[in-house]
Amino acid sequence: MGRGYIVEEAVEGYLTKLCEQQPGPITGLLIGQSSAQRDFVVMATRTPQREESTPTVGNSLDKEWVTEHARQVSRMLPGGLSVLGVFIITDTDAKDTLTTLRQLVFAVENVISSEHLWTPADDDVTDCVTLHVNPKTRKYPFATAFALDESMAKPADWKYQSGVCSSWSMVSCCLNVDISVPLPDNGAGAENMDKCLKEGLKVWAHQIQRGVCLIDGKKLPEDTELTAGQVRKNVRQTYTAQLLTTPDDLRSKDVVQRCGGSVSVREAIHCRAYIHSNKPKAKLAEKLLKRDVVSTVATRVQMLLEELLISERESKGCRDKQQTEQFCLPRRIFCPVKVSRPVCVCDYQFNDEGLSEVTDRLKEMLDIDTAEEDLDTRQETPAEIKEGVVAAGPPVETVKAQESKKNNYIGVAMATAVALLATAASMLERSGPDKDGQLSGSSTLVRSSPGQCFGPLIQKPPRISTRSSRRI
């Protein structure tokens, strides 16, 4: 007997619908959650059509296109949800298709894991599933599990069931993030910031993993059953968590050194993790929640840097000689998966985007039809960039950068506190940047030009774009 997969009935209906759409091969992703005993598949989504591509012939699949889709979908999954494998709908012989699927699932797993900043745990499940559906028979899908560390194919026990995640628990928390990363002496372009921030985020991610997690105000033993004592079926339990961290030990050994700048990441974020109902332990809840914390911060930073990189390439390095630039960071928006409530997926909205663009991306990436009023926009407040005084309000995310003429430091910050930018600018004019090169303010990215004294903040309006870096 192979590894067991409990699959939401709606997935069967979705695959059947795809079988009726077109005769050619269709690929897609299987999304759900793994556990030690079995995996749960809660949804499936097809790979979007590539406008400039030609129809697929035989087993010739666009591997690069499928893996890019998987990378972007992985960013839209909160804690507890992940890409479990791939599926293909084709009438090609199963033996011929198996090799193609094996190559595809390994490529997908490699590109997704390359963006992970956490250290894999010993109890992580390493099996991925591939599903071959023949559009002519449909009733007998050929499911196979591949162990990533063995590359061996094993039959998978594939069973459909209704309400797979109707009683899953949810653990959520709000967290203030404060990360400081030095930049090299050779400039502070988006490419350099990308590399340095990734290294800095890895150090911070290790700090998060070592942090203490309180669930409903208590530190539960790892083997404590999260839903112990709950006897009602199909009732979801919700828990509020707190993450307590201490500064990294290496900070006490920091020395003053010359560098091209420093990047500070400061923000307030909403995180959540969904936990399966098969006797989940507190250890699992803590692991999934911490991974969502790391993932959502890394995703926002990466998305912003992708926007800046595209902007720099389009301008061919000819940027305005202004002292500072400000860019808004995206906020997190949740969308319920109707067929498997109360589980949600998420997307990230920039300030120059409307909710219609969020619903378009959900349709394109996850094949979810949703109305704007169904989106959960309450968890994080959209940022505002204002010249002068910033009105008081909820904590928001900020990225700021500044540089002094004397030591050529650049500071970039995503601040959580709401402050008076006019007062801060006035203080800077009198005394210059503080030792950390940071200010509190609205959700912005501010960069000052090399070789200039830091003066009053100059706002750069958000760039209107199609977000091509976020879409396939």
Amino acid 30: pLDDT: 97
pLDDT grade for 311, boundaries at 50, 70 and 90:
confident
| Tokens at 57, concatenated | 């012939």
String of b and e for 100-126 (b: at least 16 CB within 10 Å)?
Answer: bbbebbbbbbebbeeeebbeeeeeebe
- pLDDT tens string 147-192: 776 667 888 899 999 989 888 999 999 998 888 888 777 655 666 7
With a pLDDT cut of 90, the percent of the chain lying above it is 38
Task: Tell me the mean pLDDT in the region 82-88.
Answer: 95
Per-residue pLDDT band at 208 (split at 50, 70, 90): very high
- Using the structure block, give the residue that is written with the tokens 């997704």: 112
**Residue 192 DSSP SS3:** helix
Surface-to-core class of residue 257, CB atoms within 10 Å of its CB (0-12 exposed, 13-18 middle, 19+ buried) = exposed
Q: What is this structure's pTM?
A: 0.79
pLDDT top residue among 342 and 428: 342
- Edge-to-edge order in the sheet of strand 26-34: 152-155, 142-147, 127-133, 82-89, 26-34, 38-46, 4-8, 157-161
Q: Which residue has the higher pLDDT, 387 or 86?
A: 86
Query: Which amino acid belongs to residue 460?
Result: K
Q: Please, what are the domains in the chain?
A: 4-161 (3.40.140.10), 169-431 (no CATH)
Residue 138 makes CB contacts below 8 A (sequence gap 6+) with 15, 16, 19
pLDDT of residue 59: 46
Average of pLDDT values for 331-336?
Answer: 94
| Residue 266, CA atoms < 13 Å, CB-side half-sphere | 26
267 against 30, higher pLDDT: 30
What percent of the chain lies above the pLDDT cut of 70? 67
The predicted-structure confidence for 403-420, as pLDDT tens digits, reads as follows: 333 333 223 333 333 332
Q: How far is it, in rounded angstroms, from Cα 289 to Cα 265?
A: 20
Q: For 212-249, what is each residue's pLDDT tens digit?
A: 999 999 999 999 988 765 545 556 789 999 999 876 55
Closest C-alpha to 440, from 428, 452, 453, 455: 428
Instruction: Tell me the sheet residues that pair with 313.
Output: none
The residue assigned the tokens 């002094």 is 404
Instruction: Supply the mean pLDDT for the chain.
Output: 75
What contacts 17, CB < 8 A, 6 or more positions away? Answer: none
